[in-house]
């Protein structure tokens, strides 16, 4: 990226200093300055979408699987209280320590206290959007504990002081030459090296040393089974397992919504997850953690951080069904052309745009507007979240609450007044046609965002009502 | 444990959760009638693995000598291979397997639709083994290959393990420009031996 974002020298990044309060439109237009990158980004994500289409068509019961996955999550959300209690009790039976965190700060403090009690000052972390959401790395680093992200894409984002731009493909917006430059600086690879295999080998060597020397490991959770008190972590790299099985302390952080009722339900979710995410039949590793290894401590932190509030929002609660496959991002025309970092939120893309307003409606008021409402996201979602309907509904809530982006609020008020007064509507139409014909530059200028990348149609000589009143007499004859 | 947060979260959830929705019945899902062995082999090759259908354990020994550098450290939990491979020590520090070139493990079952094998710590010896080795070889009985994940979980049931894993190929990443690279952190290759005779 052409340095649009504020990359601090601090190893972490807070959203305030990184995005500097910029809107989705502002951040996306910065991403759009590099046309070649946008075209590549667009094509790379569409290619993944096509891989998803190809592999899902090989499963005749694909639509039934989506429906089952959606219904299991509906059932879960409607009994979440009881399943949480059941899960907690089974975790404890399995020798796992359970913690509850109402918010990000409490979560971070729990992680810190676990590590501190063991005298651990270095931790390795596998991919966890939740800990990104909680800004755990910055929190721990301020307290003298270093964290290394071990997922390759997240490692790359970490050394570049950027948040992930995609839940599954954290550095999809970067070109290999940029990654080569970062590795040259941080891992001492040869200057100009950009071959993906050689770069991956360099990271493998470095991160293996990290895995072998870290006493503390933190992983995310993909699915947590209430019935058995086990949790499943899915990776393609094997990084979660390398960290967890070599550690003295394994901490797993999960949002409340990661629960599923029964173990057999894993069959449905593991069939849809990787196929939806990257078009492969299953992630390489689907690891089922049930008990700590002898001599090891295992902790599960159950995090609310706005989830119970979202559960109470009738129109938006289904967003909690999300299994973080990223397919809505890969298919979204706005995401593909605007980039993930434009969403100024940990979870990006269409699903991020319906989760973020629950966390901070004012800051994320623009995100539900960053969509064409084409509905492609809802069509590919493996748990059938009505994403585009929720985007539309959030717009109404945001306008009603007074958080609409200013230009949108003014335009919508003007539109409402125009449409509710027939006389004004006709005058406005006449004026519009006159301006388009005689003074097009008065509308098509840099102050009118509608005209970026758009041309105006030539104006018709008259409106439909003018034509109708002129012709209705003639037709009667 | 912070009881106040626990109580707060649970009461908020109880207050906000919708009216009960029934649990769907997923018992009808099952794989097609097919040649599971052939389907498995096609799938596994497709995801970048190597697969051999073999008659007996001696054929596996010959293939191991052909396919791997036997001068390096190789280990197994299978007594049938004890004459050529080191046996795991459950007491050893997991870090001590850092230089493991090849691990040979017997899977409980394999899944034709995705190429994955199901391993628990009892067959791994140590949890770290199938991840830390440079090359992973897994033996599975041809009769233990099921069509889909639905049959797999039926066979696994509740299960008696502290750790279990489906592994569906060599460790991989495509994080750099979507270029597929085998051997992100775990094994660079994965080989499956499908054994016609049970051992």
Q: CA–CA separation, A216 vs A228, rounded Å?
A: 25
What pLDDT band is residue A466 in, cutting at 50, 70 and 90? confident
Cβ of residue A284 closer than 8 Å to a chain B Cβ: yes
Residues B150-177: tens digit of each pLDDT: 999 999 999 999 999 999 999 999 999 9
Q: CA–CA separation, B90 vs B101, rounded Å?
A: 18
- On the question of pLDDT at A72 being above 50, the answer is yes
Query: How large is the C-alpha radius of gyration of chain A?
Result: 25
Of chain A, the percentage scoring pLDDT greater than 90 comes to 81
Q: CA–CA separation, B166 vs A420, rounded Å?
A: 61
Q: Are A247 and A296 in contact (CB under 8 A)?
A: yes
Rounded average pLDDT over A338-354: 97
CA angle A88-A92-A95, nearest 5°?
145
CA angle A78-A79-A81, nearest 5°?
120
| CB-neighbour burial class of residue A326 (10 A; exposed 0-12, middle 13-18, buried 19+) | buried
Helix-helix angle A80-93:B3-16, to 10 degrees? 150
Q: Are A256 and A163 in contact (CB under 8 A)?
A: no
Please tell me the number of Cα atoms within 13 Å of B185 on its side-chain side.
Answer: 29
Inter-chain CB proximity A263 and B153 less than 8 Å: yes
The contacts of residue A256 (CB under 8 Å, 6+ apart) are A80, A84, A302, A303, A304, A307, A308, B9, B13
Is the pTM higher than 0.95? The answer reads no
Q: What is the pLDDT of residue A82?
A: 98
Q: What is the pLDDT of residue A30?
A: 96
Mean confidence (pLDDT) of chain A: 92
- On the question of pLDDT at A432 being above 90, the answer is no
Q: What is the pLDDT of residue A469?
A: 85
Rounded average pLDDT over A330-334: 98
Write out residues 218-257 of A within 8 Å (CB-CB) of B: 228, 236-239, 241-242, 245-246, 256
Which of A374, A376, A264, A295 lies closest to A95, judged by CA? A295
Rounded average pLDDT over A89-116: 98
Q: Are A304 and A101 in contact (CB under 8 A)?
A: yes
Mean confidence (pLDDT) of chain B: 96
Mutate to test the interface with A, among B9, B135, B179 (most CBs of A within 10 A): B9
**What b/e sequence results for B63-75 when a residue is b if at least 16 CB atoms lie within 10 Å of its CB, and e otherwise?**
bbeeebeeeebbb
Rounded average pLDDT over A184-195: 97
Write out residues 389-428 of A within 8 Å (CB-CB) of B: none
SS3 assignment, position A162: coil
Which of A390, A389, A408 lies closest to A399, judged by CA? A408
Q: CA–CA separation, B12 vs B8, rounded Å?
A: 6
Q: CA–CA separation, A221 vs A91, rounded Å?
A: 14
What is the sign of the dihedral through the CA atoms of B118, B124, B128 and B134? negative
Query: How large is the C-alpha radius of gyration of chain B?
Result: 20
Q: Which secondary structure element, helix H or strand E, spans residue A406, and what is its range? A: helix A406-420
Of A212, A266, A287, Cβ closest to residue B153: A266
Q: CA–CA separation, A251 vs A186, rounded Å?
A: 27
Q: What is the pLDDT of residue A1?
A: 39
**What is the CB neighbour count within 10 angstroms for residue A352?**
25
Mutate to test the interface with B, among A55, A182, A282, A287 (most CBs of B within 10 A): A282
Inter-chain CB proximity A152 and B176 less than 8 Å: yes
- On the question of pLDDT at A4 being above 90, the answer is no
Q: Which of these ranges, A373-382, A454-463, B128-137, has the smallest mean pLDDT?
A: A454-463
Q: Which residues pair with A216 in a beta bridge?
A: A123, A249
What pLDDT band is residue A133 in, cutting at 50, 70 and 90? very high
Q: CA–CA separation, A399 vs B92, rounded Å?
A: 62
Inter-chain CB proximity A100 and B9 less than 8 Å: yes
The contacts of residue A248 (CB under 8 Å, 6+ apart) are A118, A120, A215, A216, A295, A296, A297
Q: What is the pLDDT of residue A475?
A: 55
Torsions phi, psi for A223 (to 5 deg): -140, 135
What is the sign of the dihedral through the CA atoms of A330, A332, A333 and A335? negative
Mutate to test the interface with A, among B27, B33, B162 (most CBs of A within 10 A): B162
Q: Which of these ranges, A4-18, A165-179, A276-290, B64-78, has the smallest mean pLDDT?
A: A4-18
Chain B residues with CB-CB distance to A272 below 8 A:
none
The contacts of residue A230 (CB under 8 Å, 6+ apart) are A94, A224, A263, A288, A289, A290
Of A72, A150, A196, Cβ closest to residue B24: A72
Please tell me the number of Cα atoms within 13 Å of A131 on its side-chain side.
Answer: 29
Chain A residues with CB-CB distance to B1 below 8 A:
97-100
Cβ of residue A168 closer than 8 Å to a chain B Cβ: no
What pLDDT band is residue A440 in, cutting at 50, 70 and 90? confident
Helix-helix angle A265-278:A35-56, to 10 degrees? 140
Q: Are A258 and A322 in contact (CB under 8 A)?
A: no
Q: What is the pLDDT of residue A429?
A: 80
Task: Specify the higher pLDDT residue, B105 or A453.
Answer: B105
CA distances from A135 to A23, A103, A170 (A): 21, 12, 16
What pLDDT band is residue A410 in, cutting at 50, 70 and 90? confident
Residues of chain B with pLDDT under 70: 1-3, 197-199
Specify whether the backbone of A231 is left (phi greater than 0), alpha (psi in -120 to 50) or beta: beta
């Amino acid at each position: 990226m052409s340095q649009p974002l504020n990359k601090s020298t601090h190893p972490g990044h807070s959203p305030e200093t990184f995005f500097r309060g910029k809107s989705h439109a502002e951040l996306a237009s910065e991403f759009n300055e590099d046309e070649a990158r946008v075209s590549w980004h667009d094509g790379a994500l569409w290619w993944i979408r096509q891989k998803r289409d190809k592999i899902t068509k090989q499963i005749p019961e694909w639509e039934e699987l989506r429906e089952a996955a959606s219904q299991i999550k509906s059932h879960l959300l409607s009994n979440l209280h009881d399943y949480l209690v059941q899960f907690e009790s089974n975790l404890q039976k399995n020798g796992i320590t359970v913690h509850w965190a109402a918010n990000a700060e409490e979560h971070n403090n729990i992680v810190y206290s676990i590590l501190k009690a063991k005298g651990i000052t270095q931790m390795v972390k596998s991919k966890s959007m939740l800990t990104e959401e909680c800004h755990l790395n910055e929190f721990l680093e301020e307290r003298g504990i270093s964290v290394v992200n071990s997922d390759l894409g997240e490692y790359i984002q970490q050394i570049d002081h950027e948040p992930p731009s995609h839940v599954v493909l954290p550095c999809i917006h970067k070109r290999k030459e940029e990654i080569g430059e970062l590795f040259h600086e941080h891992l001492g690879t040869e200057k100009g090296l950009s071959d993906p295999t050689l770069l991956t080998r360099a990271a493998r060597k470095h991160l293996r040393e990290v895995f072998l020397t870290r006493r503390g490991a933190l992983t995310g959770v993909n699915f947590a089974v209430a019935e058995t008190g086990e949790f499943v972590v899915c990776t393609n790299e094997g990084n979660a397992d390398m960290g967890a099985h070599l550690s003295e302390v394994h901490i797993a952080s999960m949002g409340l919504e990661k629960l599923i009722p029964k173990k057999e339900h894993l069959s449905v979710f593991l069939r849809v997850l990787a196929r939806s995410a990257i078009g492969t039949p299953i992630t390489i590793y689907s690891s089922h953690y049930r008990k700590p290894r002898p001599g090891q401590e295992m902790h599960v932190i159950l995090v609310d951080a706005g989830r119970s509030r979202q559960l109470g929002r009738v129109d938006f609660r289904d967003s909690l069904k999300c299994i973080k496959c990223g397919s809505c991002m890969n298919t979204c025309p706005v995401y593909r052309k605007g980039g993930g970092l434009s969403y100024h939120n940990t979870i990006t893309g269409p699903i991020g745009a319906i989760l973020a307003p629950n966390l901070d409606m004012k800051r994320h008021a623009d995100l539900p507007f960053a969509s064409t409402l084409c509905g492609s996201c809802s069509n590919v979602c493996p748990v059938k979240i009505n994403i585009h309907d929720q985007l539309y509904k959030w717009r109404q809530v945001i306008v009603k609450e007074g958080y609409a982006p200013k230009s949108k609020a003014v335009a919508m008020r003007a539109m409402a007044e125009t449409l509710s007064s027939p006389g004004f509507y006709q005058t406005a139409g006449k004026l519009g046609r006159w301006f388009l014909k005689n003074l097009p530059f008065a509308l098509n200028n840099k102050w009118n965002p509608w005209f970026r990348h758009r041309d105006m149609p030539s104006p018709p000589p008259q409106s439909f009502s003018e034509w109708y009143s002129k012709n209705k007499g003639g037709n009667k004859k | 444990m912070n009881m106040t947060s626990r109580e707060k979260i649970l009461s908020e959830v109880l207050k906000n959760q919708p009216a009960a929705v029934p649990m769907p019945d997923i018992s009808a899902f099952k794989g097609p009638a097919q040649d599971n062995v052939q389907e498995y082999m096609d799938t596994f090759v497709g995801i970048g693995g190597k697969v051999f259908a073999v008659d007996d354990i001696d054929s596996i020994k010959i293939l191991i000598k052909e396919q791997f550098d036997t001068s390096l450290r190789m280990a197994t939990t299978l007594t049938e291979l004890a004459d050529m491979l080191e046996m795991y020590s459950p007491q050893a520090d997991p870090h001590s397997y850092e230089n493991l070139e090849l691990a040979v493990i017997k899977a409980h079952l394999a899944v034709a639709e995705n190429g994955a094998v199901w391993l628990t710590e009892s067959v791994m010896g140590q949890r770290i083994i199938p991840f830390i080795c440079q090359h992973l070889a897994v033996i599975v009985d041809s009769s233990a290959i099921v069509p889909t994940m639905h049959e797999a979980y039926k066979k696994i049931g509740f299960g008696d393990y502290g750790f279990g894993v489906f592994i569906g190929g060599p460790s991989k990443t495509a994080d750099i420009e979507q270029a597929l690279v085998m051997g992100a952190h775990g094994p660079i290759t994965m080989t499956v031996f499908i054994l016609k005779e049970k051992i």
